[in-house]
Amino acid sequence: MRDVVIIGSGCAGNTAAIYAARANLKPLVVQGHEAGGQLSLTTLVENFPGFPEGILGPELVENMKKQAQNFGAEYLHGSLLEADLSKRPFRLSIEEEIVETRTLIVASGASARWLGLPSEQKLIGHGVSSCATCDGFFYRGRKIMVIGGGDSAMEEANFLSRFGSEVTLVHRRGQFRASKIMLDRARANPKVKFLLNTVVDEVLGVAGNLVTGVRLRNLETGAVWEQEVDGFFVAIGHIPNTAVFKGQIETDADGYILSKGGARTNIPGVFHAGDVQDRTYRQAITASGAGCMAAMEAERFLEAEGH
């Protein structure tokens, strides 16, 4: 029987583990398919406070993990496959193991949707990104491309125009899902150029491990051409990792956990932390802050229940 199980080993899960371990709760962290979470996909992180020269994403999350382990947190390989949250203790099926726990912290993140091209996957963190706030600064005076046709693509294109010499927005259709106001803003931006009915066939630069351009294809004419690009931003949405809790933890229509205040979910004893509940900020520091909140709430919950 565990006091606290944490699902996810990104910034939110690791920070929750540090706090829960220092509260002597010996948390168990289930690492999931992506140990270290989304920061393990990136290179330099320049906006996490405390690192004036920046720090590599994988190093930052590894440091957090070591910090939690130093205080007694345990890490388990594998993913949560099933959860019975209908009664306490909660019953979790983690690969081959069944674990029972008094409280649960869900820090399973929201994975960025990618185009799925092998070249794109190889160049994540090397010119390919899914986060303008995180990586826009690296592309001052450079050529930027944004993929997508919704509000987030418009927002990212506008934001990135502060840095890039030009921003090309590529959308596979002729119509946009984006709201009129967001679209109008992007259209009024002299730095943003639109390429419609166009798809990316390949991101170029794999041999040198740095994006140099893209190969594009117009779906109407069949024309294929290459274009020079330094920063390639995919803005086609995120998928909150909540499928395993479906029908138990309340979410919005897109699957983001609905907060009941603080770090609370609709189920007493189950807390949320990080991007799995946050469609707005999606940053390492906000995820870490949320992990701290969730661990403190779990500790108070256990205290109130006499554990």
Ligand X SMILES: Cc1cc2nc3c(=O)[nH]c(=O)nc-3n(C[C@H](O)[C@H](O)[C@H](O)COP(=O)(O)OP(=O)(O)OC[C@H]3O[C@@H](n4cnc5c(N)ncnc54)[C@H](O)[C@@H]3O)c2cc1C
Site for ligand X in 266-305 (CB under 6 A): 274-275, 282-285, 287
- The residues pairing with 105 across neighbouring beta strands, listed in sequence order, are 6, 271
Closest by Cα among 34, 43, 42, 27 to 9: 34
- 151 annotated active-site: no
Does residue number 249 form part of the binding site for ligand X (CB under 6 A)?
Answer: no
Residue 96's Cβ-count burial label (10 Å; 0-12, 13-18, 19+) is exposed
CB of 247 to ligand X, least distance (A): 15
Q: What is the DSSP string of 83-101?
A: EE-SSSSEEEEETTEEEEE
Question: Within its chain, how far is the Cα of 204 from the centroid?
Answer: 24
Does residue number 241 form part of the binding site for ligand X (CB under 6 A)?
Answer: yes
Which range, of 107-115, 177-185, 220-228, 248-256, touches ligand X by CB under 6 A?
Answer: 107-115
237: phi then psi, degrees, rounded to nearest 5: 105, 175
Here the tokens at position 151 are 């509000």
45/183 with CB nearer ligand X:
45
Catalytic residue among 11, 134, 230, 278: 134
The dihedral over CA atoms of 239, 287, 281, 302, expressed in degrees to the nearest 10, equals: 90
- 131 annotated active-site: yes
Among residues 11, 18, 73, 234, the one that binds ligand X under rule CB under 6 A:
11
The answer to whether residues 106 and 257 touch, using CB atoms and an 8 Å cutoff, is yes
Which range, of 125-133, 171-179, 220-228, 259-267, touches ligand X by CB under 6 A?
Answer: 125-133
The answer to whether residues 197 and 218 touch, using CB atoms and an 8 Å cutoff, is yes
CB of 55 to ligand X, least distance (A): 10
Does residue number 131 form part of the binding site for ligand X (CB under 6 A)?
Answer: yes
* Euclidean distance between CA atoms 166 and 176, whole angstroms: 21
Among residues 2, 4, 5, 9, the one that binds ligand X under rule CB under 6 A:
9
Size of the site for ligand X (CB under 6 A): 42
Does residue number 55 form part of the binding site for ligand X (CB under 6 A)?
Answer: no
Which residues in this chain contact ligand X in the complex, by CB under 6 A? 7-13, 30-35, 37-39, 41-42, 45, 47-48, 79-80, 107-109, 112, 124-125, 129-131, 134, 241, 244, 274-275, 282-285, 287
